[in-house]
Amino acid sequence: MLQAAEKAERSRLSAADWEAGALDLIAEQGVPALAVEPLARRLRVTKGSFYWHFATREALLKAALQNWETHAEEAMDQIAAIDDPRERLSELFRRTGREARTHSIYSALLRALDHPIVQPVMERVSQRRLDFLKQAYRQVGMSGIDALHRAQLTYAAYVGFLQLVLQLGVKHIDPTELEEYVEHVMSTLIPQ
Amino acid sequence: MLQAAEKAERSRLSAADWEAGALDLIAEQGVPALAVEPLARRLRVTKGSFYWHFATREALLKAALQNWETHAEEAMDQIAAIDDPRERLSELFRRTGREARTHSIYSALLRALDHPIVQPVMERVSQRRLDFLKQAYRQVGMSGIDALHRAQLTYAAYVGFLQLVLQLGVKHIDPTELEEYVEHVMSTLIPQ
DNA sequence: GGTTGTCAATACGCATGCGTATTGTGCGAA
DNA sequence: TTCGCACAATACGCATGCGTATTGACAACC
């Protein structure tokens, strides 16, 4: 993180710097907080220069989400490379507890699902993850319909977990407590 | 629903009318969409009269959330009256699929968890529901820590489900398909 | 039938955000 | 050295939202 801050040291900014700063803002304060003037202040310039890089605020949002989506897909591909489906699911669950930034952005995008630019991105990412889960559950022996439902249940649990922990702080992310929770989730959702 | 619209027929409005209209707006477009001037237009008056009833926009939000919280508690109390814990959990799950408006508001509030007025309300409601779930799981024979984790998992699944269905429309709320999903969730989360 | 209380309209001032237009500046290439 | 490109600052106009101040209207009550 702080990608934006470090670049801000340099005298001049590129489009990539603005995109990184946009993701920082989204992660910290959500999509509605991504506004041109506040972001410009953050990057120590005025908004006058922003419009050299992007036509509109929406263009920046689109570009930033594109970056994030690519990053999210790469992370998925890594896990998908694990052969044993049970091991793959475990790794997926465990990673959810870590990688704060990626999940911060995901959580922020969840809260902006009604936004016309955010929605198609989330639709694609969610569908990929659901397919991923469904396939894994099939490979551990569940029927098609059961695998689909279990995938939906798992994904819903993931989404709700993010919402509750990252936003509400229901539990204060005590690492060992989190680990125990993840173990419970795995033993409940992954058939033996 | 349409509580606001029907009242709008009358010549003069009360604070309760503004609160009902506020909840309508929140349900339909989320907390950020609750603004004085748009709401006034909706109610066919100008904002000049709003400030006779409420000191600030925040005061309206607070009052509206108070109403909702009371309503949510009453709904919970109804289910809590069911003796058999398994039956109680089933009823809870099944109701989630219905009652669109209550859950629309809940979903909207979820997306506004960072708002200082929304947060304490959601914290209370969430804690009550978690306690409710935990107690039910204990009564069907789970240990304290397992019951807690299962309650958290259940609640996260509920929250995620709302987010995905109401906002993303991952599945288009086909009633029979939904029923099957709920059955899967129950058989997965409620121990036999 | 006049007075009062209750709601509503109008008209402000202020802040923030978007997008545009114009001008300025520094660094690398010619 | 100078020219020009790539970024940046300044200064607009416009829209929307908050909150205030003032005046208006209508019904109930005396």
pLDDT digits (tens, 9 = 90+) for A124-156: 999 999 999 999 999 999 999 999 999 999 999
Q: Does A78 touch chain B (CB under 8 A)?
A: no
Segment A54-98, tens digit of pLDDT: 999 999 999 999 999 999 999 899 999 999 988 998 888 888 767
Determine, for residues A184 and B146 on separate chains, whether the beta-carbon distance falls below 8 Å.
Answer: yes
B88 touches B80 (CB < 8 A): yes
- Average pLDDT over every residue of A162-168: 80
Query: Where is pLDDT greater, at A173 or B118?
Result: B118
Q: Is the CB of B48 under 7 A from strand C?
A: yes
Q: Check whether A44 has a pLDDT greater than 70.
A: yes
Query: Where is pLDDT greater, at A38 or A104?
Result: A38
Domains within chain A, CATH numbers bracketed: 3-57 (1.10.10.60), 64-189 (1.10.357)
- Which pLDDT score is estimated for B101? 81
Nearest nucleotide, CA B11 to C1' = C7
Confidence band (pLDDT; 50, 70, 90) for A169?
low
CA of residue A13 to C1' of nucleotide C10, angstroms: 47
B133 touches B155 (CB < 8 A): yes
How far is the alpha carbon of A99 from chain B, nearest alpha carbon, in Å? 19
Segment B125-177, tens digit of pLDDT: 999 999 999 999 999 999 999 999 999 999 999 999 988 887 776 555 778 88
Segment A5-37, tens digit of pLDDT: 444 355 788 999 999 999 999 999 999 999 999
Q: Is the CB of B82 under 7 A from strand C?
A: no
Determine, for residues B153 and A149 on separate chains, whether the beta-carbon distance falls below 8 Å.
Answer: no
Which residues 78-97 on B are within 7 A of strand D at the CB atom? none
Q: Does B79 touch chain A (CB under 8 A)?
A: no
Terminal CA-to-CA distance of chain A, rounded, Å?
38
- Which pLDDT score is estimated for A178? 84
Measure CB to CB from residue B126 to each of A158, A170, A188 and give the nearest one.
A170
How far is the alpha carbon of A169 from chain B, nearest alpha carbon, in Å? 9
Q: Does A161 touch chain B (CB under 8 A)?
A: yes
Q: Is the CB of A110 under 7 A from strand D?
A: no
- Which pLDDT score is estimated for B3? 41
Nearest nucleotide, CA B18 to C1' = C7
B15 touches B63 (CB < 8 A): yes
B112: chain A residues, CB-CB within 8 Å: 111
* b/e sequence B41-67, b meaning 16+ C-beta within 10 Å: eebebeeeebeebbeebeebbebbbee
> Low-confidence residues of chain B, pLDDT below 70?
1-10, 97, 169-172
Give the tokens for residue A177: 């407590």
B18 touches B39 (CB < 8 A): yes
Q: Which nucleotides of D are covered by protein (CB under 7 A)?
A: 6-11, 16-22
